[in-house]
Amino acid sequence: MYIDDEELSNRVYIPPRASKDHVIDTNGKRLSELCQSTSFIIGNGRLHDDLNVGEFTFHSHRGSSLVDYLLLEPKDIFLVSNFKILQPNELSDHSGILFSLASRHAADEEGSKSEASYDYNIKWDDLKIDPFKNVLSQYKAQLCSLEQSILNERDIDKGSKRLYKYFKTECNRGV
């Protein structure tokens, strides 16, 4: 594993990665090259319930493989507070990946120095695919505008907070 930050590599312990999938195809090599060029690491096989396991994420009559990944920067490994590969089910040939991220947000709008810690669990509901697509198409202009303002934002935390507030407001409206 390559970390393009000598000081960081001395401070952050990255567990060795395990994988039940011992075949590395062209896409696997490309993923490895991407990780080396960006200094990203693969969370699978080195975090929480999947530590030292590297469970398969794709299952077919021809066999199983690991094709779904959590990629992250080494400095963010401590933000992952839960990680596991879910059991396969009859609705998909892919196993779900469940992970929780702990983050710190300013407690209030006025820029208070106090911080709160939150864990978020995101679960996909297949019954909401079409309504979700419809909402996205209705709000395409607003989302593009929001994206542009975030890209122009010099402070990533402010931009992320604005995006979070936008989605929270829309979710609270029942959209």
141: containing domain: 125-175
**Nearest C-alpha neighbor of 41 from the set 76, 65, 8:** 76
If one counts the domains in the chain, the total is 2
Show Cβ contacts of residue 60 under 8 Å, excluding neighbours closer than 6 positions. Answer: 93
29 and 102 housed in the same domain: yes
75 and 115 housed in the same domain: yes
Q: One digit per residue, pLDDT tens: the chain, 175 residues?
A: 445 555 555 667 889 999 999 999 999 999 999 998 888 999 999 999 999 999 999 999 999 999 999 999 988 888 898 999 999 888 899 999 999 987 654 223 333 333 444 445 556 677 877 887 787 788 788 777 777 777 776 666 676 777 777 777 776 665 4
Pairing type for strands 80-85 and 71-72 reads unpaired
Q: Residue with structure tokens 């992320």?
A: 160
Q: Which of 123, 141, 157 delimits the end of a domain? A: 123
Backbone angles phi, psi at 123, to 5 degrees: -125, 125
5 and 25 housed in the same domain: yes
* pTM of the predicted structure, to 2 decimals: 0.56
35 and 50 housed in the same domain: yes
User: Residue 149: its pLDDT value, please?
Assistant: 73
146 and 110 housed in the same domain: no
27 and 74 housed in the same domain: yes
Find the distance separating the first CA and the last CA of the chain, reported in whole Å: 42
139 and 62 housed in the same domain: no
CA 78 from chain center: how many Å?
13
Residue 89 carries which DSSP code?
B
State which H helix or E strand residue 6 sits in: helix 6-11
